[in-house]
């Protein structure tokens, strides 16, 4: 086999005729896949195509299946995740495997503690943990519990944990979903070094720029079957999309529909002098701010994007407006000309604001509850007229949203945790739409969502703005930001540094402002 770069390489992993069913439903049907030493092999496909099931078979999570797996040319049955690790297979799952209450160093060595002669060697663990984190330019207090760190840091701790077992096969499932641009570049440099050392990497991503930046080969699954495998340089982006969704997309972003009067003078929401105090800021010394003196307005039917590097304060701004920081958020906010009181999430919902967080499974959804219960979770008064809970009305409301958003599920009674990432995101959106918001705060609404589901979400955003809903948008995908937003506001270390209308916004200008290099790029409209 000549891969990659027209040279002979060894096949680390080979799967043939893989079939897997759950409760009589076939999710993988005659799937074949192989991985060479020193290559990045992209596993692509829509949510629900079977990618996660396949990697769980490789990782020893699913042990009952049909077909054959070989490691280094020898048949193998992987009995458990621990067995997979012993065989040199490391997995970075999209849903992190970290234990929040444990320290970072304990997480890195969980299940493989350094204990010579039966005594735990904490000193050696700290030293080695520091070495793994240094490879990722991750400078943190390793003794702190991981729950203290933001999502982007947790992501890199997860990567460091995968590196700790000296694996020859590394599976990365959406590893950059919570990383900033510079952090993604660091990860790609690490991947390049891993390739040089002979590692094979299975990489799952829905981001086209990532796929073509690092891929040697691409294998596409659709509806549980292998569509094809090709070298990345021989598979064009349009053809890749057709393989993934079975049809051709007409346009990347739909033509915007704006509400009547959207361009008028009346603001839907206006924010003045808005600041958010750091939670750990005490009464002694200078105050420390997550957001300082933000000022902007958004009209009905307008999409305003918020850009910035990791830690810029964009998510804190949204959380502050939604009332998640309570009285640590200060400033003047008006909604349709009337005072908007920033007090609590419940109070903000009642006033007409909704907030889709960037962590749908941590704070956005209750995975053990079914679709119906999640959709009505933020609007229980609507299904409890006169204080009486009406289950039939709840099911009716959920069915309406499931149809409108094309949520794929066996029924409204299916647990949300069993849905694909794209369908989970749609459930989270349905939950907030049911509150009938005037303003929607969307923080990474397409994170971990396949290209087909992304276009559906774009189409729905277009429908919402046509109805007069104002959208405040955070997205780490630059094409998405430039393609969807009417205006783009840039933050750097909690302060607004620039604002660009859609017509003049460019990636270069936004990045300069995000790095605090304001110069002539600062221009509030």
Q: What is the pLDDT of residues 228-262, one digit of tens each?
A: 999 999 999 889 988 987 766 666 677 766 655 55
Instruction: State mean pLDDT over 397-402.
Output: 91
The tally of CA atoms less than 13 A away on the side-chain side of residue 233 is 5
Query: Strand, coil or helix: what is 468?
Result: coil
Structure tokens at 177: 């979903």
Q: What is the chain's Cα-based Rg?
A: 24
pLDDT at residue 3 is higher than 50? no
DSSP 421: H
- Report the alpha-carbon distance of residue 460 to residue 426 in Å, rounded: 10
Sign of CA dihedral 500, 504, 507, 509: negative
3-state secondary structure of 302: coil
Q: What share of the chain is helix, strand, coil (3-state, %, to 5)?
A: 35, 25, 40
Going by C-beta distance under 8 Å and a sequence separation of 6 or more, which residues neighbour residue 462?
254, 255, 256, 257
Edge-to-edge strand list for the sheet holding 289-298: 289-298, 269-277, 329-335, 338-339
d(CA 115, CA 112): 9
Share of the chain above pLDDT 90, in %: 47
- Digit-coded pLDDT (tens) for 80-135: 998 998 899 988 876 667 888 999 999 888 877 877 777 888 888 889 888 888 87
CA distances, 120 to each of 98, 102, 104, 166, 455 (Å) = 20, 16, 16, 20, 51
- The per-residue pLDDT for 280 is 66
**What pairing do the DSSP bridges indicate for beta strands 40-44 and 217-222?**
parallel
- Residue 491 pLDDT exceeds 80: yes
CA distance 89 to 92: 10
Residue 405, burial from CB neighbour count under 10 angstroms (0-12, 13-18, 19+): buried
Of 135-149, 245-259, 351-365, 431-445, give the lowest mean pLDDT range: 245-259
Q: What pLDDT is stored for residue 149 in this prediction?
A: 85
Contact by Cβ (8 Å): 256, 465? yes
Rounded to 5 degrees, what angle do the CA atoms 414, 417, 420 make?
A: 90
Kindly report the backbone phi and psi dihedral angles of residue 422, in degrees, each rounded to the nearest multiple of 5, phi listed first. -65, -40
Which option is the CATH number for 253-352+438-525: 3.30.2270.10, 3.40.470.10, 2.60.40.10, 3.40.50.300?
A: 3.40.50.300
The mean per-residue pLDDT over the stretch 140-160 comes to 83
Put simply, whether the predicted model's pTM sits higher than 0.75 gets the answer: no
Residue-level pLDDT at 349: 93
How confident is residue 362, by pLDDT bands cut at 50, 70 and 90?
low
| pLDDT of 519 | 46
Phi, psi of 430 (to 5 degrees): -60, -40
pLDDT of residue 275: 96
Dihedral sign of CA atoms 123, 129, 132, 136 in order: negative
333-359 pLDDT per residue, tens: 999 999 999 999 999 999 999 999 987
- List phi, psi (to 5°) of 89: -110, 120
Which CATH number does 1-88+169-184+199-248 carry? 3.40.50.300
Residue 197 phi/psi, 5-degree rounding, is -80, 0
User: How far is 45 from 24, CA to CA, in rounded Å?
Assistant: 22
Cα dihedral 484→488→492→498 (10° resolution): 160
Distance CA 493, CA 233 (A): 39
Average pLDDT, the chain: 86
Residues of the chain with CATH 3.40.50.300: 1-88+169-184+199-248, 253-352+438-525
CB contact at 8 A, 126 and 106: no
Q: What is the pLDDT of residue 326?
A: 92
């Amino acid at each position: 086999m000549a891969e990659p770069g027209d040279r002979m390489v060894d096949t680390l992993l080979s799967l043939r005729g893989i079939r897997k069913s759950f409760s009589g439903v076939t999710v993988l049907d005659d799937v074949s896949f192989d991985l060479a030493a020193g290559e990045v092999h992209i596993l692509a496909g829509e949510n629900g195509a079977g990618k996660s099931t396949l990697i769980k078979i490789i990782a020893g999570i699913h042990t009952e299946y049909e077909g054959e797996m070989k490691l280094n040319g020898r048949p193998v049955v992987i009995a458990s995740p621990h067995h997979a690790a012993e065989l040199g297979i490391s997995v970075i799952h999209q849903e992190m495997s970290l234990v929040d209450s444990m320290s970072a160093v304990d997480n890195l060595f969980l299940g493989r503690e350094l204990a010579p002669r039966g005594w735990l060697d904490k000193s050696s663990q700290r030293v080695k943990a520091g070495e793994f984190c240094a490879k990722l330019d991750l400078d943190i207090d390793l003794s702190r519990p991981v729950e203290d760190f933001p999502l982007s840091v947790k992501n890199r701790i997860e990567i460091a944990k995968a590196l700790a077992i000296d694996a020859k096969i590394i599976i990365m499932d959406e590893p950059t979903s919570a990383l900033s641009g510079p952090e993604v570049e660091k990860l790609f440099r690490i991947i390049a070094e891993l390739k040089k050392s002979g590692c094979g990497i299975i990489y799952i991503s829905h981001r086209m720029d990532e796929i073509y930046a690092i891929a040697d080969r691409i294998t596409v699954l659709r509806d549980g079957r292998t569509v094809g495998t090709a070298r990345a340089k021989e598979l064009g982006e349009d053809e890749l999309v057709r393989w993934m969704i079975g049809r051709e997309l007409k346009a990347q972003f739909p033509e915007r529909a704006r509400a009547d009067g959207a361009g008028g003078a009346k603001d839907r929401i206006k924010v003045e002098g808005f600041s958010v105090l750091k939670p750990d800021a005490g009464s002694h010394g200078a105050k420390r701010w997550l957001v300082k003196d933000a000022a902007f307005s958004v009209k009905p039917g307008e999409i305003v994007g918020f850009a910035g590097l990791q830690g810029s304060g964009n998510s804190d701004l949204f959380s502050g407006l939604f009332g998640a920081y309570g009285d640590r958020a200060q400033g003047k906010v008006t909604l349709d000309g009337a005072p908007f009181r920033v007090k609590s999430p419940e109070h903000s919902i009642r006033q007409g604001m909704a907030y889709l967080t960037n962590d749908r499974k941590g704070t956005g959804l209750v995975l053990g509850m079914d679709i119906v219960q999640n959709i009505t979770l933020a609007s229980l008064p609507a299904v409890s007229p006169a204080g009486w809970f009406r289950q039939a009305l709840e099911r009716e409301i959920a069915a309406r949203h499931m149809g409108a958003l094309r949520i794929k599920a066996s029924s409204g009674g299916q647990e949300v945790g069993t849905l694909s990432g794209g369908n989970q995101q749609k459930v989270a959106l349905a939950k907030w739409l049911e509150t009938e918001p005037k303003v929607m705060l969307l923080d990474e609404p397409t994170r971990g969502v396949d290209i087909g589901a992304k276009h559906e979400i774009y189409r729905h955003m277009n429908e919402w703005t046509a109805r007069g809903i104002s959208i405040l948008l955070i997205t780490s995908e630059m094409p998405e930001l430039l393609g969807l937003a009417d205006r783009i506001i840039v933050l750097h270390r909690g302060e607004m540094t620039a604002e660009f209308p859609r017509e003049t916004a460019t990636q270069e200008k936004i990045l300069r402002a995000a790095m605090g290099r304001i110069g002539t790029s600062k221009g509030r409209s």
